[in-house]
């Protein structure tokens, strides 16, 4: 078994659920209990009242990327979108921005009373005319001022940067739990590893034996682990690492969500502590794998970045963990996240670093029969 450090959020995991017998037949089978599988269970339970819906998760609760991310509920920021526009064209970027805004609104509409109010996010990279022009087009697309130029304090200096006023932070495990609690009538089976799935029949390793399960509609929501189930899948793993410090008495940077270096580095405040993740731009090859053991090299990088942004080193690292994203065809943007596998089965996976907002949008579309 892989060694892994729990994420800051996983301290809030509920007790493991004892295994219950699996049903032999269900109307809907969902594989994977991350954001994708959980939101889908919720929307399908509402769209198909009375249908039997089973979510099978191979881990004890669902320790995929969904409980190991940074908890940015975000529709994006200008540096990243400018880079992406160079790679995939501006129309793809604008469409993705609209979709992510829909996701942010959807999460707030469903869980608003359980989320923090939006604190906004800022792009710490230098403000350029190119970014101003893109922000104008993004705002025009949104029909409101999502990106505004504002003074922020970054690394001890007051500076003008773009602030995205709609973004906010969330606690990923609390959100997962809230979504599951809202999905009435759904059965959740943990420690159930699907080893084969095709055309209405799944074989599931559960409590030491393989069980056969028949389903009417099946949804594979296995993200970065997809290739271990579907060897031909093009979803490539990309690891990300995060550290969280001890509580801070002072910090030289405003308590907004922040992005630096084209969004590769991202930081926020959590319970008076500082969270920072990233570094993939410098460790691309080392991080292209599915392994939950964090590394010293990335930790040193994140510590140095934290020291700069916080402005002192009167803190220690209390949490350091890794999570794994899934990138369709290795792409960050522009590839399909829905693939039909056969007449009964669909793959819903590969949201890269955007799943907090994108997964509920896909779930809503699937449940609406789109
Ligand atoms: C370090 C890091 C930081 C991130 N930060 C952000 C952020 O701030 N904002 C944002 O929007 N996105 C962020 N992301 C991305 C986001 O976390 C993901 O896009 C999202 O969680 C994907 O959800 P999912 O349900 O598709 O996948 P997962 O959460 O990975 O869920 C897949 C589940 O399937 C289960 N599974 C796999 N194979 C099987 C099988 N054969 N049988 C049964 N179960 C199986 C796994 O155990 C897992 O629980 C980040 C990701 C990482 C790694």
Structure tokens of 262? Answer: 């084209």
C-alpha to C-alpha distances, 134 to 93, 149, 320, nearest whole angstrom: 10, 13, 35
β-strands 345-348, 209-220 pairing:
parallel
Is the Cβ atom of 258 under 6 angstroms away from ligand 1? Answer: no
Is the Cβ atom of 277 under 6 angstroms away from ligand 1? Answer: yes
Is the Cβ atom of 294 under 6 angstroms away from ligand 1? Answer: no
- How far is 162 from 204, CA to CA, in rounded Å? 49
Residue 226 alpha carbon, nearest atom of ligand 1: 38
Three-state secondary structure string covering 17-80: CCCCCCCCEEEEEEECCCHHHHHHHHHHHHHCCCCCEEEEECCCCCCCHHHCCCCEECCCCHHH
Residue range 79-88, pLDDT digits in tens: 999 999 999 9
Give the other-Cβ count within 10 Å of 167's Cβ: 25
State residue 351's pLDDT score: 96
Residue range 71-113, pLDDT digits in tens: 999 999 999 999 999 999 999 999 999 999 999 999 999 998 8
Residue-averaged pLDDT of the chain: 94
Phi, psi of 302 (to 5 degrees): -70, -35
Using N-to-C axis directions, what is the helix angle for 172-182 and 90-111, rounded to 10°? 70
Which of 136, 138, 141, 119 lies closest to 73 in space, CA to CA? Answer: 119
pLDDT surpasses 90 at 14 = no
- In the chain, what is the straight-line distance between the N-terminal and C-terminal CA atoms, in Å? 39
> Where are the chain's structural domains?
118-165+236-328
Structure tokens of 128? Answer: 């350029």
Mean pLDDT along residues 132-147: 97
Structure tokens of 240? Answer: 């990300």
Structure tokens of 194? Answer: 């699907």
Q: Which residues, 6+ apart, have CB-to-CB distance to 42 below 8 Å?
A: 110, 179, 180, 182, 183, 186, 363
Distance 279 CA to ligand 1 centre (A): 19
What CATH number belongs to 118-165+236-328? Answer: 3.30.9.10
State residue 4's pLDDT score: 57
Is the Cβ atom of 278 under 6 angstroms away from ligand 1? Answer: no
Q: Residue of the nearest CA to atom 21 in ligand 1?
A: 66
Is the Cβ atom of 61 under 6 angstroms away from ligand 1? Answer: no
Mean pLDDT along residues 272-280: 96
pLDDT surpasses 60 at 340 = yes
Q: Residue of the nearest CA to atom 18 in ligand 1?
A: 355
Which of 52, 58, 67 lies closest to 5 in space, CA to CA? Answer: 67
341 by Cβ neighbours in 10 Å (0-12 / 13-18 / 19+) ranks as middle
Q: Which residues, 6+ apart, have CB-to-CB distance to 68 below 8 Å?
A: 7, 9, 10, 172, 242, 292, 321, 322, 323
Residue 36 alpha carbon, nearest atom of ligand 1: 25
Reported pTM: 0.97
Is the Cβ atom of 71 under 6 angstroms away from ligand 1? Answer: yes
Q: Which residues, 6+ apart, have CB-to-CB distance to 288 below 8 Å?
A: 236, 237, 238, 239
Is the Cβ atom of 32 under 6 angstroms away from ligand 1? Answer: yes
Residue range 219-244, pLDDT digits in tens: 999 999 999 999 999 999 999 999 99
Distance 49 CA to ligand 1 centre (A): 27
Q: Which residues, 6+ apart, have CB-to-CB distance to 29 below 8 Å?
A: 54, 56, 197, 202, 213, 215, 217, 218, 219
pLDDT surpasses 80 at 144 = yes
- How far is 370 from 357, CA to CA, in rounded Å? 18
Q: 12 with 174: CB under 8 angstroms? A: yes
Mean pLDDT along residues 146-152: 97
pLDDT surpasses 70 at 1 = no
Is the Cβ atom of 169 under 6 angstroms away from ligand 1? Answer: no
State residue 2's pLDDT score: 44
pLDDT surpasses 60 at 206 = yes
Distance 24 CA to ligand 1 centre (A): 27
Q: 323 with 239: CB under 8 angstroms? A: yes
Is the Cβ atom of 222 under 6 angstroms away from ligand 1? Answer: yes
State residue 112's pLDDT score: 86
């Amino acid at each position: 078994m892989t060694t892994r450090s729990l994420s800051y959020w996983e301290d809030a995991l509920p007790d493991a659920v004892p295994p219950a017998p699996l049903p032999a037949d269900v109307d809907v089978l969902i594989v994977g209990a991350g954001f994708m599988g959980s939101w889908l269970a919720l929307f399908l339970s509402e769209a198909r009242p009375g249908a039997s819906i089973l979510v099978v998760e191979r881990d004890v609760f669902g320790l995929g990327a969904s409980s190991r991310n940074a908890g940015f509920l975000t529709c994006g920021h200008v540096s990243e979108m400018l880079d992406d526009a160079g790679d995939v064209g501006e129309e793809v970027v604008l469409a993705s921005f609209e979709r992510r805004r829909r996701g942010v609104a959807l999460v707030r509409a469903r869980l608003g009373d359980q989320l923090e109010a939006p604190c906004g996010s800022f792009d710490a990279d230098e403000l350029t005319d190119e970014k101003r022009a893109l922000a104008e087009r993004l705002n025009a697309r949104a029909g409101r001022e999502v990106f505004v130029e504002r003074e922020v304090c970054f690394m001890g200096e007051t500076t003008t940067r773009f602030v995205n006023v709609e973004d906010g932070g969330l606690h990923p495990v609390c959100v997962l739990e809230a979504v599951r609690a809202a999905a009435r009538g759904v059965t959740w089976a943990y420690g159930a590893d699907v080893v084969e799935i095709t055309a209405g029949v799944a074989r599931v390793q559960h409590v030491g034996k393989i069980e056969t399960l028949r389903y009417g509609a099946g949804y594979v929501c296995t993200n970065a682990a997809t290739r271990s189930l579907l060897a031909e899948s093009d979803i490539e793993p990309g690891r990300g690492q995060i550290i969280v410090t001890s509580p801070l008495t002072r910090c030289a940077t405003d308590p907004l969500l922040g992005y630096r270096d084209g969004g590769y580095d991202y930081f926020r405040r959590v319970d008076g502590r500082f969270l920072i993740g990233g570094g993939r731009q410098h460790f691309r090859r080392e991080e292209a794998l599915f392994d939950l053991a964090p590394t010293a090299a990335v930790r040193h990088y994140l510590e140095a970045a934290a020291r700069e942004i916080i402005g002192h080193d009167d803190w220690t690292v209390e949490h350091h963990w890794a999570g794994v994203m899934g990138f369709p065809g290795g792409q960050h943007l522009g590839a399909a996240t829905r693939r039909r596998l056969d007449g009964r089965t669909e793959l819903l996976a590969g949201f890269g670093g955007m799943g907090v907002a994108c997964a509920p949008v896909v779930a809503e579309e699937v449940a609406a029969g789109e």
